Every structure is written in C-alpha cells, then in structure tokens.
Amino acid sequence: MPEFRLRADVVRAAAAAHGDTTGRDISARTGLHETTLSHLFSGRRAPSLEAAMAISAAYGTPVNVLVRTVGQPDPTQSDG
C-alpha cells in the first residue's frame, strides 16, 4: 500500500493566500489540532483522509495536490 505525506509547502502557500500565517490560524480554519498539523507538516504522520479533506475544504485545494506518495517523483516539479 502506498505511503502518503502532506505537501506542507502547498498547504502553507494556500494558507498564506487566505491570510493564515500561523499554525493557530491554520488550525482554526481547518478544525485540526495544532499538534496534528505539526506532525503532518514535519512528515511524522501520514494525513488521514479526514485531515486531507478538512484542509482541502478550508483552502479550496484538491486533495491530490495536498498529498504526495512517498518514493514517487513529485509531478509538480520539473527536472530542470
């Protein structure tokens, strides 16, 4: 089964576009605990579907853009 991680850079950019610059701001908008967000951003925890959906709904960013598959190339990055 593939392993997924949150793309913290994408979440932070989406959050900033909505004026959310702190973990507290993101927590308030998404309904996720700050500790959960910290674990997701650092890669210590894989995002649950519920967490990914909460972030997606809060910032209008598709789930497939918010997560990446561990060990797979990032399709949003070019080689040069």
- What residue ranges define each of the domains in the chain, with the CATH number in brackets? 4-69 (1.10.260.40)
| 79: pLDDT strictly greater than 70 | no
DSSP 17: H
DSSP 76: T
Q: What is the pLDDT of residues 3-62, one digit of tens each?
A: 999 999 999 999 999 999 999 999 999 999 999 999 999 999 999 999 999 999 999 999
Q: What is the dihedral of CA 73, 78, 79, 80, to 10 degrees?
A: -160
pTM of the model: 0.86
Q: Which residue spans within the chain are E strands per DSSP?
A: 4-6, 67-69
